[in-house]
Structure formats: structure tokens, C-alpha cells
Amino acid sequence: MPLVAHNDLPTFERLAQEGTRVLPRDSALQQDIRELHVGLLNMMPDAALAATERQFFRLVGESNPIAQFYMHPFTLPEIARGPEARAHVERYYEPFERLREEGLDALIVTGANVAGTELADQVFWQPLIEVIDWALDNVTSTFCSCLATHAVLQFRYGQKRSRQPGKIWGVFPHRVVDKRHPLVNDVNTRFDVPHSRWNAVTREQFDAAGLRVLVESETVGVHLATSADGLRVVFSQGHPEYDTVSLLKEYKREVLLYADGARDDYPPFPDHYFGSREQALLGEYRLRLQRALEAGAGPPPFPEPQLGGRLDNTWHDTAEAVVGNWMGLVYQVTHRDRRMPFMDGVDPDNPLGL
């Protein structure tokens, strides 16, 4: 069933315009279909706040036909916001205190911008621990994206991420390595996943923490893993939620940082993302940019419109399938009272019977 537009968050209208099925609240209340309430702890910076909403809302809304999905975005007040983003949060986001009281069936935790190298020094560190500790005791399953995976691996399992020699950036092939797990049921055994990170937690660290690795890459390591019980926590080091143009927008941002003198080197292409024609077009832009900078002029318009429609998306279908499996598992083992996460007869230490 569709997402339920239970408030006037603009993301619902935007997704409906894109073709995602969104059900008005009044219509949803007339249907005798079970609800699933999914929290989204959105820690992304201002520029990516609304896009991250859409990406995860879309994945959940398109994933599974068995329930009505109520999405509950919230953030951490300790994260600094500009006026526009702060107004958006105050208008459309929910306080964690209310969600903690009312309960959630599932929780998604995004990445965040980091200042410095130590995660434990970030302003969101202690508030994030509070949310995760609550979720592990009260929410059926928590999906951790990229930096959230690194944070939970550190404060729950004692496994610190390590800085890589170069940025892991692009679209990389992965293989399913645990075909028995229902999260990867009916998923292609080989598929692509976007990544965008400077740090990594290795396969050896996942193994040392007693976690189940489901999907990994020969070149960029583990993508998907779960807690030992198979469901309580789902870890992702990649970004399966990314739009087709997400890496293009990241590349554009880095190019403009170079143009402004905020980075010394011209950014390399994300791996396995731009085709030869797109690389040629971007190479021409680099020459025009260099000439403009040498002449003391501003940068020419970045050719985003010419590039956006030429890029391939080789990951969304699999991401949708994995999230669909996740929502199906949450549906199966969650108690109808969200303050009682597991149904009678389900072992909370092994809810999937693995």
C-alpha cells in the first residue's frame, strides 16, 4: 500500500507528482489495512535535508504492498541549522519525545556532516546514542545508513572506522554472500550500490562484532549487514537510497568548491558513474572553467541539465527489493501496539528463526 500523507509535509506532494502513490489521510482511515509507522532520523545538512526525505520516503513507499506507511521525520536539535532548514524542521518534523511515547515500528537513521575526524566529538554523538539505545529496546528494526552505521559500530560494538587513502566514491558492484537471509530474498546475486565516504569499517571488524554480513564488494568492502539476531539492526555502508543524479550533484559541488578556492585539486570523477560521453562533456567544462579562472571571471554554468538525463541508475530496483523485504519482516514480527515490539511467540533474540 502507499505512503499516507498524514500531514502537509511538501515531500508527499513532490513524490505524488513523480508518480509515487500517496494516499490522503482521510482515505487511509477508511481502509481496513494495518499501519506501519516508520521514523526517519534525518541528520543530513541543510542542502540535503529535503532530498534525503524524498529518497527514503520513496524507497519505503514503493517497497511493499502489505501496509499503509506513516513516515515520521525528526532530527536532533543539537545539529546547527540555517533559517530555512530550521523553519522546515519546526513546521514539519516531529519531536523525538512524542515518537518515543507513541512508538515506532521501524526506524531509519541517516548520515550526517562531520567536523574533524572523531565521531565521539560530534555534537550529535550523545543524542544519537540516546535515540539508538531507545530504539534497540523499543523498535523492531533500525536501518543505519553510512555514517550511522559507523557510529553504531563504534559505540555499541567497539569497532572504530578508519580513514581511507582516497574517497570511496562512485557506483560499485556487490555480491550477496549470505543467500539464506530473508532481507536478500529474490534479490539479484550481483548488483550495484552507490558509495560516498572517506571512512570504512572492514569485513574483519563486522565479523569481530558478531554481525551477519549479507552483501559486500571486492573493491569497497561490506555494504549490507545485520545484528546477530538478523533484524534488530540493519547496517548499510552504501547509499542505496540515492537518486540517479545524487552523485552528479556531489561532483558539481566539489567542482564549485575548487572554483571558489575551497579545495586545491580538481575533483576526480566518481568511479563507474559517468560514461565516456559524459566524461568528455565534463572535460570540456573543465577547460572552460580553467580559462574563466585564469581570466579572473566567474565559473561558467555547470552542464547539469545536459548530463542529468544521460545517467543510468543500476541500483534502485535492488534497493527497493531489499527495503521491501525489510518492511515485510518488520510487519511479520511487530506487535500491533508499537510499544510492544514483538508478537506473542516470536523470540526477540531470533525473530526470523535463523
**Closest CA relative to residue 113, chosen from 176, 52, 172, 155:** 52
233 in Cβ contact with 188 (< 8 Å) = no
Average pLDDT score over the chain: 91
Q: Is the pLDDT of residue 32 over 60?
A: no
Give tens-digit pLDDT for 286-298.
999 999 999 999 9
Could you tell me the residue ranges of all domains in the chain?
3-243+313-333, 246-308
Three-class SS of residue 181? Answer: coil
Give tens-digit pLDDT for 46-100.
999 999 999 999 999 887 666 788 999 999 999 999 999 999 999 999 999 999 9
270 in Cβ contact with 169 (< 8 Å) = yes
d(CA 166, CA 168): 6
Q: Would you name the residues annotated as active-site residues?
A: 146, 239, 241
Confidence of residue 26 (pLDDT cuts 50, 70, 90): low
Confidence of residue 336 (pLDDT cuts 50, 70, 90): low
Q: Is the pLDDT of residue 346 over 90?
A: no
- Alpha-carbon distances of 4 from 21, 42, 54, 67, rounded to whole Å: 9, 19, 14, 10
CATH 3.40.50.880 correct for 3-243+313-333: yes
Query: What DSSP string describes 285-341?
Result: HHHHHHHHHHTTPPPPPP-HHHHHTT----SHHHHHHHHHHHHHHHHHHB-SSTTS-
| Beta carbons within 10 angstroms of residue 166's beta carbon | 7
Grid cell locating 162: 578508519
Choice between 97 and 342, residue whose per-residue pLDDT is larger: 97
Grid cell locating 100: 518515543
Mean pLDDT across 225-232: 96
3-state helix, strand, coil in the chain (%, to 5): 40, 20, 40
User: What is the per-residue pLDDT for 65?
Assistant: 62
User: What is the per-residue pLDDT for 216?
Assistant: 98
d(CA 287, CA 156): 48
How far is CA 39 from its chain centroid?
Answer: 13
